[in-house]
Chain A
Amino acid sequence: MKKERTFKFTIPEEELMNSGHLACQGCSATQAMRFVLKGLGRKTVLCIPACCWAVIDGPVPYSCLEVPIFHCAFETAASSASGVKAGLEMVGDTETTVVAWAGDGGTFDIGLQALSGAAERNEDIIYVCYDNEAYMNTGIQRSSATPYGAWTTTTPVKHFKRRPKKDIVAIMAAHKIPYVATASVAFPEDLVKKVKKAKDIKGTRFLHIFAPCPTGWKSRPDDSVKLARMVVQNCMFPLYEVENGEKYTLNIRPKEKKPINDYVRLQGRFRHLNEEQLALMQQETDHNWELLLKKVDAK
């Protein structure tokens, strides 16, 4: 008899996100949510501040998710989640994972104080930042997560963003919380593995998920996964973990570090950059990569 081949999926099959959501075509924020919920399962509560996902989920009385959602104020993802966790515990629910789910604006900018407070207290929550590198929900305004060189509606091409992207991972690691990790929607196995790992840790856990936005980046909707892969391969957004603020682990070390040009060329938001500016961008990427390798290799 012929032996039947069995497949073992590393990603849970259960879908906790349904169709009928309101995201743009090619939106990676939806992929991020889908994978994170697969990793966390049904016993999850989401606190979602103002961000694309405040709309994507669907208007009252609809929701595309199978888990409960608290739509909270813009700057309160971490403080709301802190309260929810305390409240659930006091009514006898110690099992549910409480997640703060915010965009880069709600994390890097307006919500940073509440996030820092929650992390310093080591609240037992998972904070997920899906990072599309600008205020996309309000129409593509720059955030402190917007990278050097990018066009946005508040950094027009004549005054494109000159300052580098804020290093949120370093900020969170500096709080000495048990777990900080980066992830990309192009690497779902890695992403789900990190979500599951985070789920089993007590204390504040921070996931920074790279989520391309075709609407804001002026890229093709079918390039989103490709861009999320390239950004890891060219080391602009390396996949790594920081445990207790000290132990750095690099999850993917590209055999051959790709130049940033191909990645940049697929996005209209960088179209205005000249050779010199692109070289600066490459330099910044190389520099950050070297710094990270030092942290990873320092034993």
Chain B
Amino acid sequence: MKKVIMGNHALSYGAMISRSQVIAAYPITPQTQVVELLSEMCASKALDAKFIKVESEHSAMAASIGAALAGARTFTATSSQGLALMHELLHWASGGRLPVVMGNINRAMAPGWSIWSDQNDSLSERDTGWMQFYCASNQEVLDTVIQAFKVSEALLIPSMVVLDAFSLSHTYEVVDLPDQAKVDEYLPPFKPRFRLTPSEPHAFGGLTSPEHYFEFRYKLQKDMEKAPAMIEETGREYEKMFGRFLGLVDPRRCDDAEILLVTSGTAGYTAHVAVEEMRQAGLKVGNLRMKVFRPFPFDKVREIAGRAKKIAVVDRNISYGHHGIFFQEIKSALYGLKDAPAVFGYIAGLGGRDITPSDFGGIVRHALANDRPEDNIVWIGVKR
């Protein structure tokens, strides 16, 4: 069934069609419609779930963790300040090996107050042990929620499904809602081996001495290492059943590209458009849209980006005192590669400033005009 829905509602429908059993959430602009629609779905019994209307994001994640430990499929959504408030518990969810799935609407961090998009909120949670999927369309948001539950529950690692404020969260697009029976086949009920129940009493997460702690973290990393292959595999399975592939990356015109843009989020789709325009003008340019940030698709990046002569990484984020975050990660992935391409770093669109096709044109022209990057940050459109 096709529906015209906003990105936020794509998250809600994704949670519904995945048969989420417990939802604990707190409203924050621009995420609010996610929880509004979910509470309607719960009230109307379109979704058989408990909705816990908590008093903060911190409690939203705490309740989600409790529900997941009890054995229920659990969904929540937040943004920006709310995600930051959850920070402590993001570690708790991954350390506790609980497959919570969360939507995060990328919104710039205050101060000053901003409700517009950039990625510093979610990328600040890079090392919390969550998988992170960056979406570029409402269809991809909905599909990714379903896939995220599947991968999370197989690996017992939580997932964050990330989308841009407004340019996706509040933008209406045609979305194909997959058939419920087929989704049930793709995503069977969550049946964890261990859960919180008096019929098999265990103590979860108690004081862990240096004798054991290290091994728990080793196992988390080992399972995270299985995630790239599993994301591709479940993505192909999804394609077989629903006709849409969900992979680690979304390459456009990369095969013979001499200069490659690396992008993420909705800017990644803008870059696709810009690439087609530049191709018509005869430029051998491609775009590697990064769909998954954690686990980092190391092999895919080396395979695809390693072929180009120059790479232009466009970051809607910054690690202050260092550079753009994708820029660092791409450089690190290419390290040691023979004839590695020159990597240029661009920072654009912080706090929701538009990133336009002509910005990508300017970026490509800049990279073509320079043999090697003179600076690790080239600022796009900043007023100085």
Residues of A whose CB lies within 8 Å of any CB of B are 42-45, 47, 54-55, 57-63, 65-73, 75-76, 78-91, 93, 96, 113-114, 116-117, 120-121, 123
Q: With A59-B209, A72-B66 in contact, do A86 and B72 touch (Cβ < 8 Å)?
A: yes
Contact B65 A72 (CB under 8 A): yes
Contact A80 B66 (CB under 8 A): yes
What are 10 sample pairs from A and B whose C-beta atoms fall under 8 A apart? A73-B89, A82-B24, A83-B66, A84-B69, A84-B70, A86-B70, A87-B67, A91-B71, A91-B195, A120-B55
User: Interface 1/0s, chain B 189-223, versus A by CB < 8 A?
Assistant: 00000011110111111111100100000000000
Q: Does B50 contact A (CB under 8 A)?
A: yes
Contact B70 A87 (CB under 8 A): yes
In the assembled complex, how far is the CB of residue B74 from the closest CB belonging to chain A, in whole angstroms? 7
Listed from nearest, the 5 A-B pairs whose CB atoms lie closest are A83-B66, A87-B70, A117-B55, A83-B63, A87-B67
Contact A54 B70 (CB under 8 A): no
Of the residues A65, A90, A93, contact of B50 by C-beta under 8 Å: A90
Name A22's closest neighbour in chain B (CB-CB): B207
Contact B59 A76 (CB under 8 A): yes
Contact B22 A121 (CB under 8 A): no
Of the residues B58, B88, B204, contact of A70 by C-beta under 8 Å: B204
Of the residues A57, A82, A84, contact of B196 by C-beta under 8 Å: A84
B206 partner residues in chain A, CB cutoff 8 A? 54, 57-60, 62-63, 69, 71
Contact A80 B21 (CB under 8 A): no
Q: With A57-B206, A73-B89 in contact, do A79 and B59 touch (Cβ < 8 Å)?
A: yes
In the assembled complex, how far is the CB of residue A170 from the closest CB belonging to chain B, in whole angstroms? 20
B198 partner residues in chain A, CB cutoff 8 A? 42-45, 67-68, 96
Residues of B whose CB lies within 8 Å of any CB of A are 21-22, 24, 49-50, 52-56, 58-60, 62-72, 74, 88-89, 92, 195-198, 200-209, 212
Name A43's closest neighbour in chain B (CB-CB): B198
Give A66 to B52 CA distance when docked, in angstroms: 29
Of the residues A60, A71, A113, contact of B209 by C-beta under 8 Å: A60
In the assembled complex, how far is the CB of residue B183 from the closest CB belonging to chain A, in whole angstroms? 18
In the assembled complex, how far is the CB of residue B368 from the closest CB belonging to chain A, in whole angstroms? 51
Give A83 to B69 CA distance when docked, in angstroms: 9
Contact A54 B207 (CB under 8 A): yes
A67 partner residues in chain B, CB cutoff 8 A? 198, 201
Contact B21 A79 (CB under 8 A): no
Contact B68 A87 (CB under 8 A): yes
A82 partner residues in chain B, CB cutoff 8 A? 24, 52, 54, 59, 63, 66
Of the residues B53, B89, B203, contact of A68 by C-beta under 8 Å: B203
Contact B69 A87 (CB under 8 A): yes
B65 partner residues in chain A, CB cutoff 8 A? 72, 80, 83
A113 partner residues in chain B, CB cutoff 8 A? 55-56, 59
Q: With A71-B206, A96-B198 in contact, do A87 and B62 touch (Cβ < 8 Å)?
A: no
Contact B205 A70 (CB under 8 A): yes
Name B48's closest neighbour in chain A (CB-CB): A90
Of the residues A73, A90, A120, contact of B92 by C-beta under 8 Å: A73
Give A91 to B89 CA distance when docked, in angstroms: 23
Give A207 to B207 CA distance when docked, in angstroms: 26
Name B73's closest neighbour in chain A (CB-CB): A90
Give A114 to B66 CA distance when docked, in angstroms: 14
